[in-house]
């Protein structure tokens, strides 16, 4: 099957770029002396994730190494595919604990996340009621970006004591996510954020240990900081996910180039608006997502960068607007487009702003390897 055989819009995954991106991150993390726990929230496909798990330390039963998930549906799916070491890296809600216990009963080594005494007591009590011991990480706020306990906050030790040594809960360690790295304006700023992330979580781990509490896991992670970390002393694992695919937002940060972006959306030209200098396609926001993350970067990529069938960017063409099922291609500088070069039926590929959001719109990947030949169709899923 060729790309030209597909109905559009369709999600295309360049396997060569995927493998290169994974190999580069794996080597970097190995050199820093820690484990890589890939985040699977973007991939949502065993065909993709098994590539990221190659070379990872596994279990005595030869099961794959650990992963990070953002939904319990992801945990269900990857457990059914033999992955048992699973970190659910979203603050736990009480209505999910029975589901977590069910996964544990099926063999999952689940770790959950929380950042309050209230949540710690809730988890401990529910674990005792269900007859399980929930293992938890305490989330650390290393950059003021989202949730977590700030280093030096006395609540850290209180939460640790509420988790440790109770029948329904145990303290497994600490984790942080330097989400503010996505707002960095230079590589130097990302490196500084990576060190801030590391220092914050290591400080908290030391505080717990000095209080006589266990802290075997010290977890950090975001694709920008993972890419540019220069040392990870005191850290045990790194979580990152979008590095497998990359996207225009990561390229805008300087974390990758457009040549590294493995995902694209195949679309067909379905018309023109000559007076507005528009090319109309069948990939609207339902295929690309509404993500406009690059709007605040130095280069605004609209809703995606337009490429030819081989994946090469075409001049300054971007998807300037979207409706539900229609994409509007224009020149970013307002230059006239020669519409005869883009006849109805012509196939184009759109590089996404945000790989997670774009992939979520599609049920499968059409895997290629640097040519228009579709080597495989890899299913993926969405939802919670």
User: What are the residue ranges spanned by the domains of the chain?
Assistant: 3-10+262-379, 32-243
Q: Which of 111, 108, 141 is nearest to 123 (CA)?
A: 111
Contacts of 7 (CB under 8 A, 6+ apart): none
pLDDT band at 64 (very low <50, low <70, confident <90, very high): low
pLDDT at 371 over 60: yes
> What residues have CB less than 8 Å from 107, skipping those under 6 apart?
79, 84
Contact 244, 262 (CB under 8 A): yes
- The pLDDT assigned to 53 comes to 93
pLDDT of 221 above 50? yes
Beta bridge partners of 351: 305
Q: Quick one: pLDDT at residue 165?
A: 87
> Which has the higher per-residue pLDDT, 299 or 63?
299
Compute the average pLDDT of residues 348-366.
98
**Res 164: pLDDT:** 97
Q: What is the DSSP letter of 366?
A: E
Q: Which two tokens stand for residue 61?
A: 């039963």
% of the chain residues with pLDDT over 90: 93
pTM of the complete model: 0.94
- The count of C-alpha atoms lying within 13 angstroms of the C-alpha of 113, restricted to the half-sphere facing its C-beta, is 24
- Categorize the per-residue pLDDT at 322 as very low, low, confident or very high, splitting at 50, 70 and 90: very high
350: Cβ contacts below 8 Å, ≥ 6 apart = 264, 265, 267, 283, 288, 303, 304, 305, 306, 307, 319, 327
User: Could you tell me which residues are beta bridge partners of residue 74?
Assistant: none
CATH number for the region 3-10+262-379 comes to 2.40.37.20
pLDDT at 305 over 70: yes
3-class DSSP state of 280: strand
- Check: CB of residue 321 under 8 Å from CB of residue 350: no
Averaged confidence pLDDT in the chain: 95
Does residue 60 surpass a pLDDT of 70? no
Mean pLDDT of 357-378: 97
* Cβ-contact 44, 382 below 8 angstroms: yes
- Two domains, one topology: 3-10+262-379 and 32-243: no
CATH class of 32-243: alpha beta
CB 384 within 8 A of CB 73: yes
Which residues face 350 on adjacent strands? 265, 306
| For residue 59, pLDDT beyond 80 | no
* Model confidence at 146: pLDDT above 90: no
pLDDT for 180 equals 84
Strand 313-322, strand 305-307: pairing: antiparallel
For residue 62, the model assigns a pLDDT of: 45
- Taking the C-alpha atoms of residue 315 and residue 302, their distance in angstroms, rounded to an integer, is 14
What's the pLDDT score for residue 20? 98
How confident is the model at residue 58, as a pLDDT?
A: 54
pLDDT score, position 61: 47
pLDDT digits (tens, 9 = 90+) for 153-187: 999 999 999 999 899 999 999 999 988 888 998 99
CA distances, 156 to each of 140, 180, 279, 310, 357 (Å): 9, 22, 55, 52, 33
CA gap 175, 172 in Å, rounded: 10
């Amino acid at each position: 099957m060729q790309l030209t055989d597909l109905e559009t819009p369709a999600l295309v995954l360049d396997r060569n770029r995927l493998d290169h991106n994974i190999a580069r991150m794996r080597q970097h993390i190995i050199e820093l002396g820690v484990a890589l726990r890939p985040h699977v929230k973007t991939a949502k496909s065993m065909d993709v994730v098994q590539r990221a798990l190659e070379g990872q330390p596994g279990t005595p039963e030869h099961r794959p190494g650990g992963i990070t998930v953002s939904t319990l549906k992801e945990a269900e799916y990857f457990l059914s595919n033999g992955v048992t070491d699973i970190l659910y890296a979203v603050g736990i809600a009480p209505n999910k604990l029975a589901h977590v216990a069910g996964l544990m009963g099926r063999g999952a080594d689940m770790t959950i996340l929380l950042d309050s005494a209230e949540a710690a007591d809730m988890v401990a009590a529910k674990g005792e009621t269900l007859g399980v011991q929930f293992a938890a990480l305490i989330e650390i706020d290393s950059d003021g970006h989202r949730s977590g306990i700030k280093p030096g906050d006395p609540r850290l030790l209180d939460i640790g004591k509420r988790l440790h040594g109770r029948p329904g809960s145990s303290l497994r360690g600490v984790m942080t996510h330097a989400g503010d790295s996505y707002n960095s304006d230079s590589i130097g700023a990302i490196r500084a954020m990576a060190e801030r992330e590391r220092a914050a979580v290591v400080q908290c781990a030391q505080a717990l240990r000095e209080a006589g509490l266990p802290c075997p896991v010290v977890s950090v992670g975001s694709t920008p900081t993972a890419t540019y970390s220069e040392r990870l002393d005191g850290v045990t694992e790194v979580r990152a996910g979008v590095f497998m695919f990359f996207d225009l937002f990561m390229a805008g940060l300087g974390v990758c180039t457009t040549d590294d972006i493995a995902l694209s959306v195949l679309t067909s030209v379905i018309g023109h608006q000559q007076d507005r200098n528009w090319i109309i396609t069948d990939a609207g926001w339902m295929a690309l997502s509404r993500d406009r993350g690059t709007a605040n970067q130095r280069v605004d990529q609209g809703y995606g960068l337009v490429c030819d069938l081989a994946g090469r960017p075409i001049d300054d063409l971007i998807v300037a607007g979207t409706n539900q099922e229609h994409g509007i291609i224009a020149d970013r500088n307002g230059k006239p487009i020669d519409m005869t070069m883009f006849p109805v039926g012509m196939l184009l590929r759109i590089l996404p702003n945000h790989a997670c959001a774009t992939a979520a719109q599609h049920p499968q990947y059409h895997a290629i390897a640097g040519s228009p030949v579709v080597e495989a169709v890899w299913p993926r899923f969405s939802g919670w």
